[in-house]
Amino acid sequence: MKRIIKNGHLLDLQTGTINKRDILIDNGMIQTIAENVTDPEAEVIDVAGKLVVPGLIDMHVHFREPGFEKKETIATGSAAAAKGGFTTVACMPNTRPVIDSPETVRQVLSRAQEAGLARVLVYGAITVRELGQELTDMEGLKEAGVFAVTDDGVGVKSSRMMKEAMRRAHSLGLPVVAHCEDDTLAKGGSVHQGVFAAKHGLKGIPSEAEAIHVGRDILLAEDIGVHYHVCHISAEQSVRLVREAKQRGQKVTAEVTPHHLLLCDEDIPEPNAMWKMNPPLRSKQDRQALIEGLKDGTIDIIATDHAPHTSEEKAWDMEKAPFGIVGLETAFPLLYTHLVEKGVLTLAELVDKMTRKPSEIFGLQYGELAVGKPADVTVIDLEAEREIDPTTFKSLGRNTPFAGWKVKGWPVLTLLEGEITWREI
């Protein structure tokens, strides 16, 4: 089937300029991009005045299937992705069973295929059941389709285990993606060790709990040459370590979440698990360092760490409730409103860090609007302003601290390989 996305405002990521263009899609691929395209066989969708960008890519989501289908399923997570303007997402393996076997990888991929609303990439675990005791069969995982390995949810405790994992992953061409957390420092904490923790007498998680792993892993990776990627970077010290490693030419990359870019511990109104996530919201100064790191390229990409939990679990108190907040359906409007409109990032910088750059660092084929590429296209209404209302989410997770925030820049049309996955235009 042919489609024309007509009169869109296409953003040139290099120059930041916007050009009015039509996109002709045929057979799931972009066939033509030009000022005026006509084709009598094509369905025309007029998106006059709306921003047209490559389908957004989120390299860090938790879809909870298999095992925790009350929190999210691959189908509901994919629907949330589509509504949020995402066409490609990468699923973390901390499911039950953990995605540590080829069989589970195949199961997740086939569920994603059935749902059909997002392109789902799958991370395999580094260690069996993410227990840090024994490496997974990375070769088998790769054959089954994983593109990278991680034990997200927990840090890999043993340096020896991490080093061996890096060697094995590197020999297979798999990036090692790390949740950096030294649990001897972090254990029992529910918020950042800082102003808020002190005020409320809560046990804090210090920044070093993250930075120690970042530093350790950079040292371990140096000789091996593996692509090492830091998940949800949150502390100033970690940013510094990644910056230095990059300056030395090491293949190190990092991601930051929308919440760590927009919030700090002082923004937490009172102890309430909607504000509980791992790593925790850190200090104002850390938040500033993340923004600087993103601007100077130390931090490569933005990823949501979409982590749905049930309302029941998130109603528990701060110490008992699970860590995590959802992100797919709010990421773009939040970042557009609070970073682009306020002049912190340009629109081209924001879009780049959510499309082209993730594709580049992980060697994917997506994230670009160009002839001959898969037609992953997201159309955004930059003027539409709405309050964030968790009851309207496609995600089963309603856990967000951003409920009630009035934001602009909502995705109104998402196409995955030319097929409509979200539309309100």
Sequence ranges of the binding site? 60, 62-64, 94, 152, 179, 232, 278, 305, 309, 323-324
Is there a contact between 25 and 43 (Cβ–Cβ < 8 Å)? no
CB of 159 to ligand NCD, least distance (A): 20
Q: Which is nearer to Zn ion, 54 or 324 (CB)?
A: 324
**Contact, 133 vs 188, CB < 8 A?**
no
State which residue, 33 or 301, has the beta carbon closest to Zn ion: 301
Tokens 């989410």: give the residue.
393
- CA dist 241 and 90 (Å) reads 25
- 72 in contact with Zn ion (CB under 5 A): no
Q: What are the helix and strand counts (H, E) for the chain?
A: 14, 18
Q: Which is nearer to ligand NCD, 278 or 337 (CB)?
A: 278
What is the distance between the alpha carbons of residues 136 and 375, in angstroms, rounded to a whole number?
A: 35
Footprint of Zn ion on 133-172 (CB under 5 A):
152
What does DSSP assign to residue 415?
E
Please report, in range form, the residues annotated as the binding site for Zn(2+).
Answer: 60, 62, 152, 179, 232, 305
CA distance 77 to 187: 29
Q: Cis omega before residue 97 (within 30°)?
A: yes
Is the Cβ–Cβ distance between 93 and 123 less than 8 Å? yes
Closest distance between ligand NCD and the C-beta of residue 367, in Å?
22
Please report whether residue 153 would count as binding ligand NCD according to CB under 6 A: yes
Bond prior to 66 in cis (omega within 30° of 0) = yes
Mark whether 305 is an active-site residue: yes
- What is the dihedral sign for C-alpha 70, 71, 74, 75? positive
Q: Does 345 bind ligand NCD (CB under 6 A)?
A: no
CA-nearest of 43, 59, 47, 57 to 18 is: 47
Annotated binding site for substrate: 62-64, 94, 278, 309, 323-324
Show the site string, 178-197: x = touches ligand NCD by CB under 6 A, - = not: -x------------------
Residue of 125, 274, 307, 380 that binds ligand NCD (CB under 6 A): 307
Which of 215, 271, 324, 358 touches ligand NCD by CB under 6 A? 324
Q: Which class for 219: exposed (0-12), middle (13-18), buried (19 or more C-beta within 10 A)?
A: middle
What minimum distance in Å lies between the beta carbon of 147 and ligand NCD? Answer: 18
Q: Does 376 bind ligand NCD (CB under 6 A)?
A: no
217 lines the binding site for Zn ion (CB under 5 A): no
Give the residue, chosen from 136, 250, 278, 414, that forms a contact with ligand NCD under the rule CB under 6 A.
278
Q: Which of 161, 172, 313, 323 binds ligand NCD (CB under 6 A)?
A: 323
List CB contacts of 16: < 8 A, sequence separation 6 or more.
Answer: 346, 347, 348
Active-site residue identified among 151, 305, 352, 381 = 305
Number of residues in contact with ligand NCD under rule CB under 6 A: 12
Question: For binding to ligand NCD (CB under 6 A), which residues are involved?
Answer: 62, 94, 152-153, 179, 277-278, 305, 307, 322-324
Question: For binding to Zn ion (CB under 5 A), which residues are involved?
Answer: 152, 179, 305
Active site residues: 305
